[in-house]
């Protein structure tokens, strides 16, 4: 009997979970939308801002000092909250491509995504890239078109662009009435009601005005004749075009429901949050090798997709972010940890709210929990109870920029190495060792320049060490697989540097792609492998 109850409770908990990432090109307003979603769900009482003035609250999800300083997101953060009888796990991701490895990993951990577009800019390059990742993983996408308070492109043009560039059906769920200074609000198509935007009350909104349908004369009076006529015309056009929202198509990633608003002005956020409750899917089955893991499987399983050190000045430790995929998680449970080849006890689990944490006793599929990590977890680790499970590996990128890192104060040797160790563990940067394993000045590999800036700043702020980043002229790294005889006879282009990666494998750093290709041709007995794949095969 107890078994039946537990199973029913597990299914009930799974059904109320909503786990999604907010993705887009930099600056479209992901963090601002996140903050407003927290405000409307009641998870924060006062909304903060990305670039806040003195004494003003900062946006919750940009908690890192360097994020607040620069007004951009650098690392994904997890926010858990309750709304509309659902338990949400929201993951706000960084848009900048230099941090996209972090965003790609985060996309492994969610069941749906919210794509934020700037209404003046439409689909931007990074949005397109991230969308492709969602498509490959068949992640359903909701679209929020933001910044309608600025002069915007015509909504029909924006919908058309989504369809043309992303090859997905874009279904308007509400319709903006004007834009920029003339932005009046949105018309909720299904419910035939108008939500009026109140510009003067910054940070507040006026109660929605209900009208029974678009022919209601009250609506013309409220909006003014010309905007009303335009709205009628546009809504009619939409009706004629005849595209209705089809939930199944949305869940298969073939259609996206589109909402308009302005996150900064709190406008259109509440209907969007309601849409998330209604439309975003609960956790579903996951492929793990040749097995399919169902969320209501009584055996527990999950994987680590992120590691972050120094999240909170009160707890300067490392936390592993684990996505629960099946079964119930309970504090102190013992799980198999196949990479270590032993069992581990999960004794310090946390519920996460950006850099805040509270101890939790249980968690369910869909939840992202924090685990205190004294070096036992790495990105990509799977843990489970019962039958063995292995979730797919995390995507990794090929580094294209390299630098030597110099510690300017040798008395801080220990902090320097601890800092680098932790940042490498987080996947914030890649590290290489000298051919002989020596490591006087670590060699770092990155996808983008900003990663070096972040490492330098974080070493200063979090570990108290000043470093110099010396750029190196390499642009390509290849893992070299060769037997000893072949290795000794190999001929290298001038200026090639030979290093080892953290597994001890040999890696050659080349200055140009041409050199790397020639080297492979000249040494046919060796294999030259890329270090990363943007997306796992």
Ligand X SMILES: Nc1nc2c(ncn2[C@@H]2O[C@H](COP(=O)(O)OP(=O)(O)OP(=O)(O)O)[C@@H](O)[C@H]2O)c(=O)[nH]1
Supply the minimum distance, in Å, between the C-beta of residue 147 and ligand X: 4
Where are the alpha helices (H) located in 224-319, listed in sequence order? 225-241, 247-251, 269-279
What, of ligand X, Mg ion, none, does residue 146 touch, CB below 5 to 8 Å by kind?
A: ligand X
- What's the closest the beta carbon of residue 62 comes to Mg ion, in angstroms? 6
Q: How far is the CB of 37 from Mg ion (least distance, A)?
A: 13
Contact between 223 and 184 under an 8 Å Cβ cutoff? The reply is yes
Question: How far is the C-alpha of 323 from the C-alpha of 91, rounded, in Å?
Answer: 12
**Residue 105 interacts with which of ligand X, Mg ion, none, CB < 5 to 8 Å by class:** none
In the chain, the N- to C-terminal Cα span, in Å, equals 44
Element (H, E) at 461: helix 449-463
| Cα 475 off chain centre by | 27
**β-pair partners for 143:** 115, 258
Q: Which of ligand X, Mg ion, none sits in contact with 263, Cβ below 5 to 8 A by type?
A: ligand X
Distance CA 405, CA 313 (A): 25
* 3-state SS, one letter per residue, for 4-54: HHHHHHHHHHHHCEEEEEEECCCCCCHHHHHHHHHHHHCCCCCCCECCCCC
Q: Which of 146/425 has CB closer to ligand X?
A: 146
From Mg ion, ligand X, none, which one binds at residue 293 (CB under 5 to 8 Å depending on kind)?
none
> What is the smallest separation between the CB atom of 74 and Mg ion, expressed in angstroms?
9
Q: By CB under 5 A, is residue 73 in contact with Mg ion?
A: yes
CB closer to Mg ion out of 62 and 169: 62
Q: Whole-number minimum distance, CB 30 to Mg ion, in Å?
A: 5
In the complex, minimum distance from the CB of residue 27 to Mg ion, in angstroms, rounded to a whole number = 8
At residue 18, what are phi and psi to the nearest 5 degrees? Answer: -135, 115
Determine which helix (DSSP H) or strand (DSSP E) holds 447, and give its type and residue range: none
262 binds, among ligand X, Mg ion, none (CB under 5 to 8 A by kind): ligand X
Q: Locate tokens 């004629």: which residue?
A: 240
**Interface ranges with ligand X (CB under 6 A):** 24, 26-32, 50-51, 72-73, 94-96, 146-147, 149-150, 262-265
- How far apart are the C-alpha atoms of 139 and 144, rounded to whole Å? 16
We find the least distance from the C-beta atom of residue 131 to ligand X, in angstroms, to be 15
CB nearer ligand X, residue 68 or residue 232: 68
Nearer to ligand X, 27 or 270 (CB): 27
Choose the one of Mg ion, ligand X, none that binds residue 232, judging by a C-beta under 5 to 8 angstroms depending on kind: none
Please say which residue, 73 or 87, places its beta carbon nearer to ligand X.
73
Report which DSSP code applies to 96. Answer: S
Which of residues 74 and 369 has its CB atom nearest to ligand X in the complex?
74
* Region of 24-32, 293-301, 352-360, 487-495 interacting with Mg ion (CB under 5 A): 24-32
The span of 28-36, 156-164, 172-180, 493-501 binding Mg ion (CB under 5 A) equals 28-36
Joined tokens for residue 39: 């405000």
Please say which residue, 145 or 288, places its beta carbon nearer to Mg ion: 145
- Which among ligand X, Mg ion, none contacts residue 51 (Cβ within 5 to 8 A by kind)? ligand X
Q: Which stretch binds Mg ion (CB under 5 A): 72-80, 109-117, 470-478, 524-532?
A: 72-80
Question: Which of 255, 257, 256, 259 lies closest to 271 in space, CA to CA?
Answer: 259
DSSP state of 212: S
> Which of 30, 357, 458, 500 lies at the binding interface for Mg ion (CB under 5 A)?
30
- Residue 146 sits in the site that holds Mg ion (CB under 5 A): no
In the complex with ligand X, the residue whose CB is nearer, 20 or 391, is 20
The count of chain residues that interact with Mg ion, using the rule CB under 5 A, is 3
Q: Which is nearer to ligand X, 94 or 282 (CB)?
A: 94
Q: Indicate left, alpha or beta for 341 from its phi (over 0: left) and psi (-120 to 50: alpha).
A: left
Beta bridge partners of 401: 446
Q: Taking CB within 5 to 8 Å according to partner kind, which of ligand X, Mg ion, none is near residue 24?
A: ligand X
Residue 183-222 contact track with Mg ion, rule CB under 5 A, x = bound: ----------------------------------------
CB of 50 to ligand X, least distance (A): 4
Strands 86-92 and 17-23: parallel
Q: Which is nearer to Mg ion, 30 or 500 (CB)?
A: 30
The answer to whether the CB of 256 falls within 8 A of the CB of 141 is yes
Cβ-based neighbours of 255, under 8 Å, separated by 6 or more: 168, 169, 170, 171, 245, 246, 249
Provide CB contacts within 8 A for 200, sequence distance 6+.
none
| CB 48 within 8 Å of CB 60 | yes
Residues found near Mg ion in the complex (CB under 5 A): 30-31, 73
């Amino acid at each position: 009997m107890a078994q039946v109850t537990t199973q029913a409770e597990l299914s009930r908990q799974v059904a109320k979970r909503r786990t999604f990432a907010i993705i887009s090109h930099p600056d479209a307003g992901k963090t601002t939308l996140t903050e407003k979603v927290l405000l409307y769900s009641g998870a924060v009482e006062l909304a903060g801002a990305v670039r806040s003035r003195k004494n003003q609250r900062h946006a919750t999800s940009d908690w890192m000092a360097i994020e607040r300083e620069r007004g951009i997101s650098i690392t994904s953060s997890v926010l858990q909250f309750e709304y509309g009888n659902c338990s949400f796990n929201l993951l706000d991701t960084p848009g900048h491509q230099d941090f996209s490895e972090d965003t790609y990993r985060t996309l492994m951990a969610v069941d749906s995504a919210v794509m934020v577009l700037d209404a003046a800019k439409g689909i931007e390059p990074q949005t397109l890239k991230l969308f492709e990742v969602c498509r490959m993983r068949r992640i359903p996408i909701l679209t929020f078109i933001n910044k309608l308070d600025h002069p915007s492109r015509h909504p029909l043009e924006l919908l058309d662009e989504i369809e043309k560039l992303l090859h997905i059906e874009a279904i308007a769920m509400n319709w903006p009435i004007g834009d920029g200074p003339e932005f009046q609000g949105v018309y909720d198509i299904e419910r035939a009601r108008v939500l009026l935007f109140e510009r003067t009350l910054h940070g507040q909104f006026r109660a929605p005005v209900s009208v029974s349908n678009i022919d209601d004369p009250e609506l013309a009076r409220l909006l003014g004749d010309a905007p009303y006529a335009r709205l009628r015309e546009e809504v009619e056009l939409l009706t004629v075009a005849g595209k209705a929202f089809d939930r199944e198509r949305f869940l298969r990633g073939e259609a996206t429901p589109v909402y308009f608003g302005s996150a900064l002005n709190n406008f259109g956020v509440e209907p969007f949050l309601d849409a998330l409750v209604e439309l975003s899917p609960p956790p579903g089955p996951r492929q793990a090798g040749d097995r399919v893991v169902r969320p209501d499987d009584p055996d527990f399983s999950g994987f680590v997709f992120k590691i972050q050190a120094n999240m909170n000045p009160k707890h300067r430790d490392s936390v592993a972010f684990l996505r629960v995929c099946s079964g119930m998680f309970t504090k102190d449970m013992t799980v198999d940890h196949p990479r270590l080849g032993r069992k581990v006890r999960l004794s310090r689990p946390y519920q996460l709210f950006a850099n805040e944490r509270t101890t939790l006793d249980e968690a369910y599929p869909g939840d992202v929990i924090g685990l205190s990590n004294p070096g036992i977890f790495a990105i990509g680790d799977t843990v489970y109870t019962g039958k063995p499970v292995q979730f797919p590996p995390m995507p990794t990128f090929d580094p294209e920029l390299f630098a030597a890192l110099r510690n300017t104060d040798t008395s801080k040797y220990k902090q320097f190495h601890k800092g680098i160790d932790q940042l490498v563990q987080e996947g914030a940067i890649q590290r290489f060792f000298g051919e002989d394993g020596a490591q006087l000045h670590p060699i770092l590999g990155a996808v983008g320049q900003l990663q070096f800036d972040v490492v330098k700043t974080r070493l200063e702020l979090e570990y108290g060490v000043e470093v110099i980043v010396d750029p190196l002229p390499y642009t390509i790294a290849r893992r070299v697989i060769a037997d000893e005889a072949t290795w000794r006879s190999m001929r290298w282009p001038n200026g090639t540097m030979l290093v080892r990666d953290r597994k001890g494998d040999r890696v050659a750093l080349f200055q140009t792609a041409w050199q790397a290709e020639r080297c492979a041709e000249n040494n046919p007995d060796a294999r030259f492998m890329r270090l990363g794949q943007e997306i796992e095969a």
